A and B are shown apart, each in its own frame.
Chain A
Amino acid sequence: MRPYISLLRVRFLNGLQYRAAALGGLTTQFFWGIMLVFIYKAFYGDAASSNGFSYKDIVTFVWLQQAFLSFIFLYDWDSELLDMITTGSISYELCRPVNIYQVWYVKLLSKRLSRGILRFAPVIVLGFLMPRPYNLSLPESPVSFLLFLITLFLGLFLLVAISMLIYISIFITMSPIGSVGLFGIIGEFFAGMTIPVPLMPSWLQNVCMVLPFRWTADFPLRIYSGNIGISEALTGIAVQLFWIIILVLAGAFSMKRITRLSVVQGG
């Protein structure tokens, strides 16, 4: 366990160096947030609520989504890992006396952690400072805030597990754009990142419920505003844990198989 923890620490500190990129990123996120709350305002018009999802809920959802994007956004282009797979330098990685699944998992996790930590606070503050009704509101209750934090982090672990499966699939497709782009877009949609899950028709909501994606974004974000109640949140945590275990096991297993079978690219 020791090497992984120190890897996490080093990577995390390394990620914190990219402050200029973070500034650019959070400006973009803030702009995105503003445009989205205006678009939803235009859709809602004077109606306060649609399908049990109020305008206040959606504004909160948008700001949290933008603030914690690095924790919930599936699309992730890690050129270091991608190059390793497509150029063949993965063979060096395989020689190291560590488990490659765990190393990559830690790499992806620490990148998201450092990005998220650098970027979330300013967006949250700006969200609070927006004029009504475009502003981020306080959490429903201290308990829902606590549950929001727990589920957000469990969601992050789950997201990285999904991300790992996407990277593993590149061994088969050999097309980073195809794997990351295609699976990324499908995953984002069913995570409620394109439009929030409660605004989808009910058949689509049912599809979302059985897939792992919504547990990474839709679920934690709606707990904050109280749109998902406390008892439902507690059962949800069990579902999150279930998915994390399943997907991590599936990923570790297929990684082991595929690295044994794979042909190293490049010379």
Chain B
Amino acid sequence: MKLYAKYIYFLLKSQLQYKASFIMTVITQFIQPFALFAGIYLLFERFGNIQGWTLYEVFMCYAVVAMCFAISECFARGFDKFPDMIRTASFDRILVRPRGTILQVLGAGFDIKRIGAFIQSGVVLVIAISGVDITWDFTKIIMLINMILGGTVIFTGVYILQATAAFWTIEALEVANIFTHGIKEHASYPLNIYPKWITVFFTFIIPYGTVNYIPLQYLLGKIDGTGWFYALVPLMGSLFILPCLLAWKIGVRKYSSAGS
């Protein structure tokens, strides 16, 4: 953990060297999601609601996922760049060091520029919370925190899977973007608007439904139930990371260097 903090410290330092570029990127990151955000807003202005979900409820859905995405992109950026490591065989260097591979790959890419996207999702979350009618109690606050934690873990899991695929393909797998950027865009809406098979897929296979749709139903008073159960659902979803880590382990064992 101390080592990881050191990694982050140095990456942070290096990224803040280019000030103008840094500010420009943060601003872009901040503004970019607003197009999607504005799109959702305008569609609601035109149609009123989507399958019984109102604008602010959908904003809530959107904000949670966008926030998880921003956090995981900030920390798990290393896995995003991992195919390059395989191609240039710089992964060899990681293997000979006496530390875990996950830690080192995580430490290779920490991207503070995502703070723009993070702030944006925070703003939307505040707007959404002020717009919906929730009587907050301890359980519900824990639930919200768990949603964000769980979602971050799930996205990180997808990144790890995407990186793991590179052990076999040696190149970046563009298709995997469906599950990172695709989810970010389409999880803005509650899962019940999609056909059953999509709902099932995103509840049990890549379980991002467990971090927004299912707990939000309870949080927004759409279904009754035990609060504690729904607060724990996101954590169950984050178990998704275990098979991802396993796949990673298998990939590392299988790895044979591509460089010379």
Contact = CB atoms under 8 A, between A and B. Distances in A.
Interface residues of A, number: 34
Interface in B1-52: 20-21, 24-25, 27-28, 31-32, 35-36, 38-39, 42-43, 45-47, 50-51
B154 to A, nearest CB: 18
Nearest to B48: A43
A175 B113 CA distance: 14
B62 to A, nearest CB: 12
Contacts of A28: 174-175, 177-178, 182
Interface residues of B, number: 32
Interface string A241-258: 000000000000000000
A182 B23 CA distance: 13
A202 to B, nearest CB: 11
B175 A27 contact: yes
Contacts of B24: 173, 175, 177-178
A31 B194 CA distance: 13
A38 interface: yes
A125 interface: no
Contacts of A45: 47, 51
A235 interface: no
A74 B160 CA distance: 30
Main secondary structure of the interface of B (DSSP, over half): helix
Contact of B47 (A31, A43, A175): A43
A222 B189 CA distance: 26
B42 A200 contact: yes
B43 A38 contact: no
Interface string A186-205: 10110000110001110010
Given A50-B46, A195-B43, A199-B43, A182 B174 contact: no
- Which interface residue of A38, A42, A178 has the most chain B CB atoms within 10 A? A42
Interface of B: 20-21, 24-25, 27-28, 31-32, 35-36, 38-39, 42-43, 45-47, 50-51, 173-175, 177-178, 182, 185-186, 189, 193-195, 198
Given A43-B50, A181-B28, 17 more contacts: A28-B174, A28-B175, A28-B178, A28-B182, A35-B186, A38-B193, A38-B198, A42-B189, A43-B46, A45-B51, A175-B21, A178-B28, A182-B27, A185-B28, A189-B39, A201-B42, A201-B45
